[in-house]
A and B are shown apart, each in its own frame.
Chain A
C-alpha cells in the first residue's frame, strides 16, 4: 500500500539557519503531496501542497517540490524563525487514502 517516510527528529536549529526535512513516499497511483504543521495544542494545518510531478508548493517561506523520479517531497526554508517551532508532517492523498509520515519536531532557538 501507499506510505510516507520522513526524517526522524527532533531537529534543533538556530534562528536564520537553513531547514530541510526529508520526505519520501511510495504510491501505486498519482497522489497529491502535502506538508502539514502542528503547533502545540492544535490540530494539523495545511502548510503547502503539490498535486503533480514537478509542481512546487510554497507558503510562508517554506517550499517543497514534487519529484516523481526520486519519489520525494522534501521541505525547505532558507531562514527559520523561532515561531517555526512545531511538528511537521508529510502526507500523500491517493483518492480517499490519506497517509501521513510520523512527524518531525522542529525547535528553533534564538
Chain B
C-alpha cells in the first residue's frame, strides 16, 4: 500500500531534550516536506527536500533540522525543543511538478513541557 509513515504518533518531552520524528514513503517520490499545524494558522512549511542530499528552508525553519540521505526517508530533528514547538506535525511527499498532489502521513502530536 502506498503510504507515508510517521513515527511516533504522540510524543511528550521536556525542554532541551533532543528528539527525532521519522518519516518514510514508499512511492519513490522525489519531493518531501514537513509542516506544522496550529489552530487558526493552517499548515506552515518547516523544511522541504527536492531530492537526496537537497534540502531547503520553508517558512518556519527555526529550531528544526532535517536530512535526506536516502530517497525514502526525511527525518525531522529538534535539537533543543522548546514549548513553542508544541504542535501537530505532518510529513508529506510527492513527485515534483505543479500537478502532483501531496501525500500526507497521519501526523505526530508533540508536546514540549
Q: Which chain A residues have a beta carbon within 8 Å of chain B's beta carbons?
A: 30-32, 34, 36, 41-46, 49, 51, 89, 93-96, 98, 100-103
Contact = CB atoms under 8 A, between A and B. Distances in A.
Contact of B99 (A41, A51, A100): A51
Contacts of A46: 101-103
Nearest to B38: A102
A42 B102 contact: no
Contact of B33 (A30, A34, A89, A98): A98
Interface string B1-36: 000100000000000000000000000000101010
B74 interface: no
28 contacts: A30-B98, A31-B98, A32-B98, A32-B99, A34-B101, A41-B106, A41-B107, A42-B106, A43-B4, A43-B92, A43-B104, A43-B105, A43-B106, A44-B104, A45-B104, A46-B101, A46-B102, A89-B43, A95-B97, A98-B33, A98-B45, A98-B102, A100-B42, A100-B43, A102-B40, A102-B41, A102-B42, A103-B42
